[in-house]
A and B are shown apart, each in its own frame.
Chain A
Amino acid sequence: MEFMSSDDTKQRNGQADGQVSASTGGREQMIIFTVGEQRYCIPILSIKEIREFEDPTYLPHCPPYVEGAINIRGNIVTVVNLANYLDTAPQPDNERRVVVIIEDGGQRATCGLLVDSVIGITEIALDEIQPISVDGGAAELSGLVSIGECVIRILRLDAVLGRLLGDDAITAAAG
């Protein structure tokens, strides 16, 4: 962190939380995936790799959106079941499920997102992002963007990692 220039930091945080400030007028590459019927996207720079879903190790006392832990080159990485996290139904009998491994710049934490399928990459103009009001209960999302007929939701990665690392009230651990 300390060897990063402040510009770097901004950029990385931008990737990590999926919050892209609308004032920059820049464009950003996003990866689009589906969970259930919906399409979501996250900045491509936050993605470390995409891998096939394999049975993770169950983590005791975990909330329903935690699928378990997997080994990624010697690191223990938690897999988040995005369907449960977003409270939506996953596609049934899906063979194409993959785990998108993301890394957060600020918190330096890594996690896997279990999604139904990865559709592709798109470039979006940051000033075309429609903000979402948080009072609407959409703390998981940072905005919407329309591509053609389709509305794509931008997932807030900092919120996912924040929940995982337990800085919300549902921390199971008591010490």
Chain B
Amino acid sequence: MGDVMDDILKIFFEECDELLPELESGLGELSEEESSKETINAIFRAVHSIKGGAASFGLDRLVRFAHVYESALDCLRSGTVEPDPAIIKTFYLAMDVLSDLVAEARNTGDPVEDSRIEENVHKLEAIIGQGGEGQPASGVGETPVPEDFTPVTVDLGGFDFDEPVEEAPARTLTVRFRPHSELYSRGDDARNLLMGLRELLPEDALGSLQVTCDMQDLPPLAELSADEACLGWTVQLPEGAGGTTEDDIHAVFDWVGDVCGLEIIREEAAGAASSDEAEAAGDGAEELPFIAEPEAAVALAEEGAVPAPEAEMAASSRPAAPARSGRKRGEQNASIRVDIERIGMLMDMVGEMVIGQASLESALTRENALHDQELLKRLAVIKTLTRDIQEAVMAIRAQPVRHVFQRMQRVVREASALAGKDVALVLEGEETEVDRTLIENLTDPLTHMLRNAVDHGIENPEARQVAGKPAQGTIRLSARHRSGRILIEILDDGGGINTQRVLQTAIKRGIVPPGASLGENEINELIFAPGFSTAEKVSDLSGRGVGMDVVKQAIQNLGGRVTIKSMPGKGTLFTLSLPLTLAVLDGMLIECRGSIMVVPVSSVVELVTVRTDEDVYTIPDGSHVVSVRGRCIPLIYLGDELTLPAEPAGQAGSHHMGRAGEAGQLIVLVVENEAGARAALVVDGVRDQAQVVIKSIEKNYRQIQGVSAATILGDGSVSLILDVSTLIVSATKRVDTRALEAIAERAA
């Protein structure tokens, strides 16, 4: 049983992952005044579903909060409150609490502080109070949370009997009931009620149950109408001590209170009961004080015979109504839910196919068969098809960035609250699709960049007023496709980058030497330097220890670039350019000590041959730099860096494009990271350029310094994809930049 519940719990959390974004986007629509009745319903439903699911698992804290939230939303739904900005803000904050409570229940988040819950509950209750529904006070504590399958008393649905509470044993309860025809048309049956009464008695006491059918109103057969009910029943059963209580009986009749006459009479002894029974059977319906609505009672008097639903079914021959007639919202995208693992498998197989195709091509090249025009043509067809299939699978995995973007609303909300600023986040291009592998990795960098924009980009309200800007700052987060990549822009309307201050800080932190003259762009780039922070007061945000260098690194790890543009007095624009997928990569295949490795083409600057005696310098700490076009670059002997075993003697002779021809020469591949830092990789040669399928190494092994992933080459062998960024970082750390400048001067 536990296992099944665990599965359902997992489904519940998955569902929360879907519902919370729905809630958020619904609230977004509310604030954009696009709200329709349907939006409000969707918002309500999201909270309602979370509450309902949580209740099934006894997630008490979550249920209680969701209940208050739901009640507040209900005021919105019923129109008793209007969605003004203050209320929407409360709903947003409550959503954050709800989301954190879900995380708490899931053990993926810190426990939510009681004071925070309380504070939000108060705000929500204020809304409920505004709506004048008068239910807030009872709301919080009252919500029932099941204590795992204890018997439950069923709600009494409006009956109000004044029952004298005296303990007297061995009494008999007489139940008289008389269903109206509506009872049958609701799919119920007098039989169900009789069975329900029978079940009230223990097995060995069934003998004490007496049932009489009251047929007095039954008309002659000829006058019998199929749609009318005219039978009543009288049931006698023992009360008390292991027997039945009136409440039990009311429970049986709970659902039919409005469509069934009911009377319960308590009698002292069995003898008295029997006389009463006779009387009841004889007198019929009129004398019984039926608990029914007045109209129903009138209808009862006019009603004829036969309760059976069978008769009702047989008698009518109306054509079946169409199931869905004119339902406006019926139109929807036909879609299916597919396990992501299956798509992953498909993706893997397509990857295999790409490799297979490449290996076929390489085999044919070896055989010199590529001179055969016919073969070439067919190979080209397969190649095109393979690429098309690959793209089609990619499209399946593509998701709009909406979800990630919407999460940023909360980031900005929290960051601006902490910073004491008023900031609005405007989203654009949320529909832009990228591969889901990328989406998952986008959240953290974007979070940090938006915090940065709130913290450092947008000015204080006072400063904004002085500058003649609206007190509320605006950050625009947008996404769009451009030439096979996705461009994400973060534009704030703050003061732009204060280059003077950035430079001073960089000098103070020893990032640049004092007196260095840097261009504006170079200064701007400094904010990406490790250890840089311009925050004058250590705010909570910068106190998190995440600098923009980490962000940049993360973006680079995704194969992306960050650029920055400052417009003094007007704002700052960060642009992220990212590949659409993390599944494939344009790679340059290089050779080093007999190993073929892949360098992402995006990071390659140039391939040059340098002379060891003229262009390579050894600096005092023992490391090497190379001068390429007057610029000194740290030299990385790739074989040594990656501890590659020496190539067996005699095998080093084969010729490749770019292979070092003569002694005293080195082939270096100049690579660049996003910060513009460069390094020169000493390689044996360059083999080819190809699109490679990225395979994880860490799935079956640990992370390897200097290697980001692996791929499989046409011949089926494993090839490593180099992590250019970390290689450059470790090389530049080794090399003192001041030494570089000195050498550059000498070389010039």
CA of A78 to CA of B704, assembled, Å:
13
Q: Is the CB of A173 within 8 A of B642?
A: no
- Of listed A60, A61, A66, residue having the most chain B CB within 10 A: A60
The listed residue (A60, A77, A109) touching B707 by CB distance below 8 A is A60
The bracket for how many chain A residues form the interface is 20 to 34
Complex contacts, A74 vs chain B, CB 8 Å: 348-349, 351-352, 355, 695, 712
Interface 1/0 per residue, A64-101 and B, CB below 8 Å = 00101111011111100000000000000000000000
User: Using a CB-CB cutoff of 8 Å, which residues 636-665 of chain B contact chain A?
Assistant: 641-645
CA of A75 to CA of B696, assembled, Å:
8
Q: Is the CB of B701 within 8 A of A78?
A: yes
Tell yes or no: B621 within 8 A of A by CB.
no
Tell yes or no: A166 within 8 A of B by CB.
yes
User: Using a CB-CB cutoff of 8 Å, which residues 404-423 of chain B contact chain A?
Assistant: none
Tell yes or no: B10 within 8 A of A by CB.
yes
Q: Is the CB of B704 within 8 A of A59?
A: yes
User: Using a CB-CB cutoff of 8 Å, which residues 702-733 of chain B contact chain A?
Assistant: 702-707, 710, 712, 716-720
* B386 CB, min distance to chain A CBs, angstroms: 15
Closest to B553 in A: A175
Tell yes or no: A169 within 8 A of B by CB.
no
Q: Is the CB of A171 within 8 A of B702?
A: yes
The listed residue (A70, A73, A173) touching B703 by CB distance below 8 A is A173
* A89 CB, min distance to chain B CBs, angstroms: 20
CA of A110 to CA of B349, assembled, Å:
18
Q: Is the CB of A2 within 8 A of B719?
A: no
Tell yes or no: B699 within 8 A of A by CB.
yes
Interface 1/0 per residue, B562-604 and A, CB below 8 Å = 0000000000000000000000000000000001000000000
Closest to B351 in A: A74
CA of A61 to CA of B705, assembled, Å:
8
Q: Is the CB of A71 within 8 A of B7?
A: no
Complex contacts, B641 vs chain A, CB 8 Å: 60
Q: Is the CB of B705 within 8 A of A172?
A: yes
Closest to B347 in A: A74
Complex contacts, A111 vs chain B, CB 8 Å: 700
* B349 CB, min distance to chain A CBs, angstroms: 8
Q: Is the CB of A71 within 8 A of B717?
A: yes
Tell yes or no: B697 within 8 A of A by CB.
yes
CA of A95 to CA of B55, assembled, Å:
64
Tell yes or no: B6 within 8 A of A by CB.
yes
Q: Is the CB of A165 within 8 A of B701?
A: yes
Complex contacts, B719 vs chain A, CB 8 Å: 57
Tell yes or no: B166 within 8 A of A by CB.
no
Complex contacts, B712 vs chain A, CB 8 Å: 71, 74, 76
Tell yes or no: A24 within 8 A of B by CB.
no
* B201 CB, min distance to chain A CBs, angstroms: 40
Q: Is the CB of A60 within 8 A of B716?
A: no
Q: Is the CB of B700 within 8 A of A77?
A: yes
Interface 1/0 per residue, A1-21 and B, CB below 8 Å = 011011000000000000000
A-B contact pairs, 5 of them (CB 8 A): A75-B700, A76-B697, A77-B700, A165-B701, A174-B705
Residues of chain B at the chain A interface (Cβ within 8 Å): 3, 6-7, 10, 348-349, 351-352, 355, 595, 641-645, 695-697, 699-707, 710, 712, 716-720
Residues of chain A at the chain B interface (Cβ within 8 Å): 2-3, 5-6, 56-62, 66, 68-71, 73-78, 109-111, 164-166, 171-175
A-B pairs with lowest CB-CB distance, top 9: A166-B702, A173-B703, A60-B642, A57-B718, A78-B701, A69-B718, A76-B710, A74-B352, A71-B712
